[in-house]
Chain A
Amino acid sequence: MDYNFYLSTMWSVLKALPLTLEIWFFGIAFGLIIATGLTWLRASGYRLGEYVTRAYVFVFRGSPLLVQLYLIYFGLSQFDFVRHSPILWPILRDPMYCTIVAMALNTAAYESEIFRGALRAVPVGQIEAAKAFGMSAFTRFRLVTLPIALRLALPAYSTEIILMTKATALASVVTIMEMMGTAQKIQHDTFRPIEVLTCAGVIYLLLNLSIARLFAWVEYRLSPHLRPAPEQSQQIKPIPEVL
């Protein structure tokens, strides 16, 4: 076993972790914003809004993320107005921004479905009770619907976040040197793919496991009402000797 090689590979790949996390974070953040908009559009009750969101979800869930990434990175630059636009061109010229845009658009489709399901799963009785209390629509949403829906969406949302971590590896195909890209480079230089990819794999796995742990912890903290009551200790406390 060549420990030095493993250690140096690990270290080189780890140095690319911040870049992976950057893509991950911005992809998720923008995705969340778009998903919120889509969910709102879907829930607003307008027929047109429903058609638009349905079409959006169909397109972005039905095709591979790689196609979407290539379409955004290579395809959109064919439009003259994109190349001459002072806002769009700096974004669509840069592979990093393109990856973030593709990931955000893709995850928004999945997340909007998750949120829609969660909103529908809020028990009607709770909403009716809030109405009976005379809460305004906004107060009802803020105090009843939203907290319950967020709690219900959490497990599926954590799965989606883990899928996003895996998706950051696609940035390597558009020349970004994040963890996967770095591993690829080392592998081509040394021709020891099994060792190099195992090192990268361990880091990805640890990353995903810690994300899963984090979400499990949040979920645990947010659902004290679903846990069985702590058992009363059966032991009878010894009577303190007063005298």
Chain B
Amino acid sequence: MEFLSNLQEQLSTAYELLAAGWGVQLLWGIGWTLAVTTVSMAIGALLGSLVAAAKLSHHAGLRFLGESYTTVFRGEPELLVIYLFYYGGTQILTGVARSTGSIGSTDILNMPSFLGGVLAVGIISGAYQAEVFRGSFLAIHRGELEAARAYGMSAWLRFRLVIMPQVLRLAVPGLGNVWQLTIKDSALISVTGVAELMLTANKAARSTHHSLLFYTVAGILYLVMTSISTPIFDKAERYTSRSFLRPK
């Protein structure tokens, strides 16, 4: 019985804290996390497709560049890349601004934390997406490409009508994995001061001394985000491969 009343007390404290404004803050945190993840995925998709093209290219130099990109950004700790873009960006911006005299010689021009974080996570995500795109391209039946060429399709037309629809279809499951990875990486950009879920939970935990409560809530919210995305990607997979399903 004592345990139950204790639990009830705990729950009512949790409710009071969340209702006192932290709940809304955490919801905003989710919004920022989703924004960071979406923008990073978009940056990653752009970079990833370019890098995949480079890795599949006939030029040895381009292939080397693509290989180096994926090796470096999959081999470095995510935290290091984030620090590099945030503090490195600050270093560059400050240097440029000081030399043009737009700020004083002792002032510092900070990298916008959202931009720095999104670039870093996007570039990491791009390295993983490049591998996904490359794998899907290699899975396209060679004969289809040859047939398209035999029809006299230009390279652009081949890309638009034959390669892209199939790469997108085959890449959906892989992109789902990268999305989950990117949600989890987005927690790391709390170190640069973007008010996403992790940082909000951190602030709440520090100022109310209820770290257990707020980190548990944050953990649950991350679980909700990652588990909601699974059926969405399943649906996208069914949609993109609808012409390959057997009629019922």
Contact = CB atoms under 8 A, between A and B. Distances in A.
Contact of B77 (A169, A191, A198): A169
A15 interface: no
Interface stretch (A71-79, A116-124, A149-157, A217-225): A71-79
Chain A binding surface, main DSSP class: helix
A61 B223 CA distance: 9
B219 A68 contact: yes
A132 interface: no
Interface residues of A, number: 42
Interface string B87-105: 1101110000000000000
A174 interface: no
Interface in B141-197: 180, 183-185, 187-188, 190-191
A71 B212 contact: yes
Nearest to B78: A166
A194 interface: yes
B21 interface: no
A70 B222 CA distance: 14
A168 B219 contact: no
Contacts, number: 119
A214 to B, nearest CB: 14
A165 B75 CA distance: 9
Contacts of B92: 194
B202 A172 contact: no
A64 B222 contact: yes
Interface in A56-101: 58-59, 61-68, 70-71, 74-76, 78-79
Nearest to A78: B212
B87 A187 contact: yes
A143 interface: no
B219 A65 contact: no
Size bracket, chain B contacts: 35 or more
B227 A166 contact: no
Given A75-B215, A78-B211, A62 B227 contact: yes
Nearest to B227: A62
Contacts of A79: 212
A28 to B, nearest CB: 16
B20 interface: no
14 contacts: A61-B226, A62-B227, A63-B222, A71-B216, A74-B205, A75-B212, A169-B79, A173-B79, A184-B83, A192-B91, A194-B88, A201-B84, A204-B80, A205-B76
Interface of B: 71-72, 75-80, 83-84, 87-88, 90-92, 180, 183-185, 187-188, 190-191, 198, 201-202, 205, 210-212, 215-216, 218-219, 222-223, 226-227
Q: Which 10 A-B pairs have the closest CB atoms?
A: A169-B77, A193-B87, A64-B187, A75-B212, A74-B211, A63-B222, A64-B184, A71-B215, A208-B75, A62-B226
Interface of A: 58-59, 61-68, 70-71, 74-76, 78-79, 162, 165-170, 172-173, 180, 183-184, 187, 191-194, 197-198, 200-201, 204-205, 208-209
